[in-house]
Amino acid sequence: MDTFNNFLPLLPQLGIGVANLAAAFLFLYGLHRMASPVTAPSGIFVAGIGMTVAVLASFLYAFDVSAAARPNLPVNLGLVVLALVTGSGVAWWAGRTVAMTAMPQMVAIYNGLGGGAAGAIAAVELFGAKAVGMSAMIVTLAGALIGAVSMSGSLIAWAKLDGVIKQPLRFKGQQLFNGVVLLATVVCGVYLVLATQNQSMLVLALPTSIYLFFAFALALGIFMTLPIGGADMPVVISIFNAFTGLAVGLEGFVLQNPALMIAGMVVGAAGMLLTLLMAKAMNRSVANVVFTNFGEVKKQKQGAIQGSLKPMQPGDAGIAMRYASSVIIVPGYGLAVAQGQGKLYEFVKLLQSGGVDVKFAVHPVAGRMPGQMDVLLAEAGVPYDLIFQLEDINDQFATTDVALVIGANDVVNPAARTDKSSPIYGMPILNADQAKKVLVVKRGEGKGYAGIVNALFYGDNCDMVYGDAQAVLIKMIEAVRGLGLPAVVKKTK
């Protein structure tokens, strides 16, 4: 009995350790399953269970009888439960109701909340003087800086994506100004480290220094993101995703929480890898992304474009594809805005029933966030084996009868290959212009996100189908069905 009574106080700590270990395993296993589009949905579910385990494990701290060693640690279970219920309810409602076109904004907001959570943990450690020792202080402040930058920067990214901020804000000497803000943040951090180790150095009260540190860090995130153009938001989101993961991992180290450390480092590493891929897809270096106004496009005189725009009726375009042998479809943000992915797949199935070979080509930075086009097509039920990435399908355009571009612009602009004066020169693009026939579905004659005219639209082999993507696809479907042609039955071995 005495042995049991001696073991009882250790149960909460044992439960916390087991829960953290289980959460870490579920995070890693879930991420592993996300490597394939086929298993990604179950991977997200598994990782969600891991997060639930990690959150519920936090309650064990409240019942840890060894908390007597931490008498200054307040526990308010009612407030914790209220926060969990409110947060879970809002997240569930938002996840169920968010439109596909608003998904980038949602990701930016949630990413910012992750950075804010890491910053809040650091604030508790700093104001409560729980970060003991120089190394603990340095790690805590590093997590606080990165988390605060990610939070405020992500909020600006959300505002840009949602149209609240419509234009980049740039001024002369902006990089120098940002450097001064960063330097002020670092100075406050160094002062906090030294002052906590030697109280005789106190010139400014510690709480005031902590407030200044967070104020400068939040301002840095804002001023870093304001000059970035909307076309570079996919890179911005991936960078701040990496920042948030790194901040969470650092604060997990401070708290000695394995689940936070593993989840944070995995997210940070994945975010950085994604940033490298996005930078490569836009022909930018990571240094250019991090240390310059990489959204800034200097005004350059674009090379003269030969040819003229040739409009085509939706019905004629649909019939042309029905009589083609092969079609490659390039989806873009315009398809998401029109919410036409369902009608697109309906049209694709109609073409397939006529024996047309149909494939999808997705550019790494198509849309407003990484992977948005893949999610869009998956939502419509498009089989994964029909979706190809740039490097896997680019060589096939030259032998394709029709390339259908829906709502995409800069990612198919041949000026990136041929016009050295173009701001996007050198950016890898989908070779849609090399198809025998190109059909472009577009709402009007406006320019793309990069603000330049697309030479593809003026090509001899290109016709423009103007209108909302969903409305155009409906007319294409009606035209093909009106032909009354029988479906082709494919023979199976």
- Domain match, 69 and 111 both: no
Identify the band that residue 197 occupies on the pLDDT scale cut at 50, 70 and 90.
Answer: confident
- pTM: predicted TM-score of the whole model, two decimal places: 0.76
* 176 and 269, same domain (yes or no): yes
For 94-149, the pLDDT digits (tens) are 888 887 777 788 888 888 999 999 999 899 888 877 777 788 888 899 999 999 99
Long-range contacts at 480-488 (CB < 8 A, ≥ 24 apart): 480/318, 480/319, 480/321, 480/322, 480/347, 480/350, 480/351, 480/354, 481/350, 483/319, 483/322, 485/322, 485/354, 487/353, 487/354, 488/353, 488/354, 488/355
pLDDT of residue 297: 47
Residue 120 shares a structural domain with residue 32: no
264 and 195 in a common domain: yes
In-domain check, residue 241 = yes
pLDDT of 350 reads 93
pLDDT of residue 492: 46
pLDDT in tens, 253-277: 887 777 778 888 888 888 888 888 7
Output the pLDDT for position 165.
Answer: 82
Residue 417 within a domain: yes
Same domain for 86 and 168, yes or no, is no
Write down which residue in 68, 91, 114 finishes a domain. Answer: 91
Would residue 489 count as lying in a domain? no
* Res 295: pLDDT: 44
Instruction: Spell out where 332-398 has E strands.
Output: 357-362, 387-389
Both 273 and 238 in one domain: the answer is: yes
Domain with residue 454: its CATH number is 3.40.50.1220
Across residues 466-474, what is the average pLDDT?
A: 92
Range of the domain at 467: 314-482
In a domain, 487, yes or no: no
- Which among 64, 410, 419, 463 is annotated as catalytic? 410
Poorest-confidence range of 148-152, 157-161, 327-331? 157-161
Final residue of a structural domain among 56, 91, 126:
91
Above 70 in pLDDT, residue 412?
Answer: yes
State how many domains the chain has. 3
Distance CA 258, CA 255 (A): 9
pLDDT averaged over the chain? 81
At residue 201 the predicted structure's pLDDT band, cuts being 50, 70 and 90, is low
225 & 252 share domain: yes
Q: Write out pLDDT tens, residues 3-45.
A: 545 544 555 566 677 777 888 888 888 888 877 777 878 888 8
Q: Give yes or no: residues 110 and 223 share one domain.
A: yes
User: How do residues 445-460 score in pLDDT, each as one tens digit?
Assistant: 665 555 677 888 988 8
Alpha helices in 383-456 (DSSP H): 390-393, 415-418
Does 460 participate in catalysis according to the annotation?
Answer: no
Residues 193 and 48 in one domain: no
H and E: helices and strands count for the chain: 18, 6
Q: Are residues 240 and 338 in the same domain?
A: no
Note the pLDDT tens digit of each residue in 357-401.
Answer: 999 999 887 777 777 788 888 888 899 889 998 888 999 999 999
| DSSP assignment string, 429-449 | ---GGGSSEEEEEESSS---T
Residues 160, 235 within the same domain: yes
Residue 261 in any domain: the answer is: yes
Q: Which of 240, 270, 297 is the last residue of a domain?
A: 297
Residue 492 lies in a domain: no
pLDDT of residue 60: 64
Residue 99, pLDDT score? 76
Question: Does the pLDDT value for residue 216 go beyond 90?
Answer: yes
